[in-house]
A = this chain, B = another copy of it.
Amino acid sequence: MSITLFDAFRVATSFEKWALIVVLVVAVLGLLYAAFLTRQVLREPKGTDKMQKISNAIRTGGNAYLKRQFKTIFLVLVALAILVFFSGWLGNIKSEYDNPTWLIGLGRAFGFVMGAGFSALVGYLGMNMAMAANVRVSQASRTSFTKALQIGYRAGTITGMLTDGLGLLGGTIIFLLFFKDSPLILLGFGFGGTLLALFMRVGGGIYTKAADVGADLVGKVEKGIPEDDPRNAAVIADQVGDNVGDCAGMAADIFESYEVTIVSAMILGLLISKVTGDLYWIIFPLLVRAAGVFSSIISTYSVKANREGESAMKAIHRGYILAACISILSFLLFAWLYCHDLRFFWATSVGVILAVAIQFLTDYYTAPEKGPVQEIAKATKTGPATTILSGIASGYESSVMSVIVIALSILASAIIWQGTPGEYQLLYIFYGIALCGIGQLTLTGNNIAMDSFGPIVDNANGIGEMCGLEAKSRQTLADLDAVGNTTKAVTKGIAIASAVLAAVALFASFYEEYHLPKIDLIQWKVFVAFLIGGAIPMLFSSMAIRAVGRAAYEIVNEVRWQFNNIKGLWEGTAEPDYSKVVAISTSAAQKELLTPALMAIISPIVIGLLLGLEALAGFLAGVILVGQLLAVFMSNAGGAWDNGKKVIEDGLYGGKGSESHKAGVVGDTVGDPMKDTAGPALNPLIKVINLVAVIFASVLALPDITRETFRERDLNAVSVIIAVVGILVIAVAFWYSRKQSAYGREESTEEQAPAKK
Query: Which residues of A (513-537) have their CB < 8 Å from a CB of B?
Result: 516, 518-525, 527-528, 530-532, 534-535
Check A106 for interface membership: any CB of B closer than 8 A. no
Would you mind naming 28 contact pairs between A and B with Cβ atoms under 8 Å apart?
A375-B741, A379-B744, A384-B666, A385-B670, A386-B743, A388-B388, A389-B545, A389-B549, A390-B742, A392-B542, A396-B541, A396-B542, A400-B538, A406-B531, A407-B532, A414-B524, A426-B523, A429-B524, A433-B524, A508-B522, A518-B518, A518-B520, A519-B522, A521-B617, A530-B625, A534-B625, A625-B626, A626-B629
B545 and A392 within 8 A (CB): yes
* Contacting residues, chain B, for A521 (C-beta < 8 A): 519-521, 617-618, 621
Per-residue CB contact flags for chain A residues 347-369 toward chain B (1 = under 8 Å, else 0) read: 00000000000000000000000
Given A397-B542, A426-B523, 19 additional A-B pairs, CB 8 A = A375-B744, A378-B744, A381-B743, A381-B749, A382-B556, A385-B666, A385-B669, A386-B669, A390-B742, A393-B742, A396-B539, A396-B542, A396-B545, A399-B538, A426-B524, A500-B531, A519-B520, A527-B621, A626-B629
Q: A196 near B: Cβ within 8 Å?
A: no
For window 606-645 of A, CB contacts with B under 8 Å fall at: 617-618, 621-622, 625-626, 628-629, 633
Task: Tell whether A403 is near chain B: CB-to-CB under 8 Å.
Answer: yes
Which residues of chain A in 483-529 are interfacial with respect to chain B, using CB atoms and an 8 Å cutoff?
Answer: 500, 504, 507-508, 511, 516, 518-525, 527-528
Contact of A414 among B378, B518, B528 (CB under 8 A): B528
Interface presence of A82 (CB below 8 A): no
* A696–B217 alpha-carbon span in the complex (Å): 55
Q: Which residues of B lie under 8 Å from residue A418 when comparing CB positions?
A: 524
Q: Considering only CB atoms, which chain B residue lies closest to A396 in the complex?
A: B542
- Residue among A389, A397, A504, A629 with most chain B CB within 10 A: A389
Judged by a CB distance under 8 angstroms, whether A411 is at the interface is yes
- State the CA gap A573–B504 with chains docked (Å): 68
At the interface, yes or no: A690 with Cβ under 8 Å from chain B?
no
Give bound CA distance, A319 to B504, whole Å.
Answer: 51
CB atoms of B617 and A403 under 8 A apart: no
A383 at the interface (CB under 8 A from B): yes
Q: Which 5 A-B pairs have the closest CB atoms?
A: A378-B744, A385-B669, A396-B542, A379-B743, A414-B524
Q: Which of B508, B522, B633, B749 contacts A516 (CB 8 A)?
A: B522
Chain B positions within 8 Å of A523 at CB level: 426
Chain A residues within 8 Å of B, Cβ to Cβ: 217, 221, 371, 374-376, 378-379, 381-386, 388-390, 392-394, 396-397, 399-400, 403-404, 406-407, 410-411, 414, 418, 426, 429, 433, 500, 504, 507-508, 511, 516, 518-525, 527-528, 530-532, 534-535, 538-539, 541-542, 545-546, 548-549, 556, 617-618, 621-622, 625-626, 628-629, 633, 665-666, 669-670, 673-674, 741-744, 749
